[in-house]
């Protein structure tokens, strides 16, 4: 009986080997799991982050780990971001999500992020965080700018340009986004008491509304002498209206980020200073951290967020640059934090070329 049984087992084994060798259609190909970078909007600012994510995918060989990387651009709407998060939760091929949160105060976004984590999907925030008082548990870590510090550096620069004070207005996409709130507070801190805030206007991500806001603010406040762009496209919008009205000699123009039109405007004498983030590193480090989390690679996780578990140990800073025009400026390196890079426009353009970027 034992011999017969052994023969039977061999036949079954041989049949299994035969089916495996000849019937490959019955064995499904492994599906690559997705690491998704979800933006808050579709500004060119995100092009640099996409390049960083793409470079990380290539250099870290994510395909060999059974992963793929995609950048999914939102439309600045909260509902759009919530719907995308729900789609990810219902998909079987999503391994990890890095998200720039559209509205830090929106509890539904935080709930969807918690749902992803409970489903086994890794989550980090990049560029703009959740509300750290109420929703820190909705993600593992935040990678991006210290937006309070960034706003403060921009305020210090503006104060250096206008030492006698005056009135200013800030322009942003979504006033409820964490990075918007933190930068605007930081600008006020950096300016000190020398200047008075007259307007803080949101445009919902619309370029037309962004320009209209600048025109309306100038109409209502004829003494404005400082215009501040908080999101990347706000500075080019300010430049457009100042050119149209022919009032460049009456206002200083400062802003966050360096979209290609803002870079050209600075070269043309239309922008006084830019505080530039590093979205390339946000994309690169975001993919690197998420891959490590999927693979439970604790050494790499510790490398990126070495203090995780401690106070603010879940924050990974990606750096700041203060960029000033070539030639004469009243701004000096020693006015800013030692960790902030201080570059002329030519030096900044060289950095962009080095990384294959047109903006940052």
105-119 per-position pLDDT tens digit:
899 999 999 999 999
- Across the strands, what pairs with 316? 143
CA distance 52 to 283: 5
Q: What is the pLDDT of residue 31?
A: 75
What is the residue whose two structure tokens read 């060119």? 44
* CATH code for residues 33-145+279-317: 3.40.50.2300
Mark 242-267 as b/e (b = at least 16 C-beta within 10 Å): beeeeeeeebbbbbbbbbebbbebbe
pLDDT band at 187 (very low <50, low <70, confident <90, very high): very high
The CA–CA distances, whole Å, from 262 to 273, 274, 310, 325 equal 10, 9, 39, 12
Pairing of strands 321-324, 122-126: unpaired
- Short-list 11, 353, 337, CA closest to 149: 337
* Token couple for 164: 């006698």
Give the class (CATH, top level) of 147-276+320-355.
alpha beta
Q: What is the pTM of this model?
A: 0.79
Q: What is the pLDDT of residues 30-40, one digit of tens each?
A: 679 999 999 99
Pairing of strands 33-38, 166-172: unpaired
Q: What is the pLDDT of residues 313-336, one digit of tens each?
A: 999 999 999 999 998 889 999 999
pLDDT of residue 26 exceeding 70: no
Q: What is the pLDDT of residue 28?
A: 59
Neighbour tally for 310: CB within 10 Å: 9
Looking at residues 191-219, what average pLDDT do you find? 96
Q: What is the pLDDT of residue 30?
A: 62
pLDDT of residue 44 exceeding 90: no
Q: What is the pLDDT of residue 333?
A: 95
CA distance 10 to 23: 19
Q: What percent of the chain has pLDDT over 90?
A: 84
Q: What is the mean pLDDT of the chain?
A: 91
Q: What is the pLDDT of residue 20?
A: 42
Q: What is the pLDDT of residue 66?
A: 96
Could you tell me how far CA 98 lies from the centroid of its own chain? 10
Q: What is the pLDDT of residue 25?
A: 54
For the chain, domain boundaries: 33-145+279-317, 147-276+320-355
Asked if the domains at 33-145+279-317 and 147-276+320-355 fall in one CATH topology, the answer is yes
Q: Report the sign of the C-alpha dihedral through residues 145, 196, 345, 50, in that order.
A: positive
> Terminal CA-to-CA distance of the chain, rounded, Å?
76
pLDDT of residue 1 exceeding 90: no
Q: Report the sign of the C-alpha dihedral through residues 49, 54, 57, 59, in that order.
A: negative
């Amino acid at each position: 009986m034992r011999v017969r049984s052994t023969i039977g087992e061999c036949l079954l084994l041989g049949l299994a080997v035969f089916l495996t060798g000849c019937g490959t259609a019955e064995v499904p190909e492994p599906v690559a799991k997705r690491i998704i970078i979800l933006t808050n909007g579709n500004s060119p600012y995100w092009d640099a982050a996409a390049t960083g994510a793409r470079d990380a995918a290539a250099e870290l060989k994510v395909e060999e780990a059974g992963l793929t990387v995609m950048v999914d651009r939102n439309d600045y709407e909260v509902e759009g971001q919530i719907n995308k998060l729900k789609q990810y939760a219902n998909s079987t091929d999503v391994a990890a999500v890095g998200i720039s949160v559209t509205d830090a105060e929106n509890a539904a976004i935080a709930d969807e992020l918690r749902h992803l984590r409970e489903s086994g999907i890794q989550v980090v925030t990049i560029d703009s965080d959740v509300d750290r008082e109420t929703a820190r548990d909705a993600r593992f870590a935040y990678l991006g700018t210290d937006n309070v510090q960034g706003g403060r550096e921009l305020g210090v620069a503006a104060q250096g340009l206008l030492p006698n004070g005056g009135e200013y207005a800030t322009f942003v996409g979504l006033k409820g986004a964490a990075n918007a709130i933190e930068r605007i507070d930081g600008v006020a801190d950096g300016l000190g008491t020398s200047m008075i805030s007259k307007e803080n206007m949101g445009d919902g991500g619309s370029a037309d509304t962004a320009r209209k806001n600048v025109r309306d603010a100038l109409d209502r406040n004829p003494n404005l002498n400082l215009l501040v762009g908080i999101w990347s496209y706000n500075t080019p919008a300010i430049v457009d209206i100042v050119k149209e009205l022919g009032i460049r000699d009456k206002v200083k123009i400062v802003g966050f980020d360096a979209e290609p039109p803002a870079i050209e405007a600075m070269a043309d004498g239309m922008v006084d200073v830019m505080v530039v983030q590093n979205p390339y590193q946000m994309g690169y480090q975001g993919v690197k951290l998420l891959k490590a989390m999927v693979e439970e690679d604790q050494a790499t996780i510790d490398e990126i967020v070495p203090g995780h578990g401690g106070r603010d140990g879940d924050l990974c800073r990606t750096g700041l640059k203060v960029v000033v025009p070539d030639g004469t400026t009243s701004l000096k390196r020693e006015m800013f934090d030692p960790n902030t890079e201080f570059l002329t426009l030519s030096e900044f353009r060289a950095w962009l070329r080095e990384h294959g970027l047109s903006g940052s």
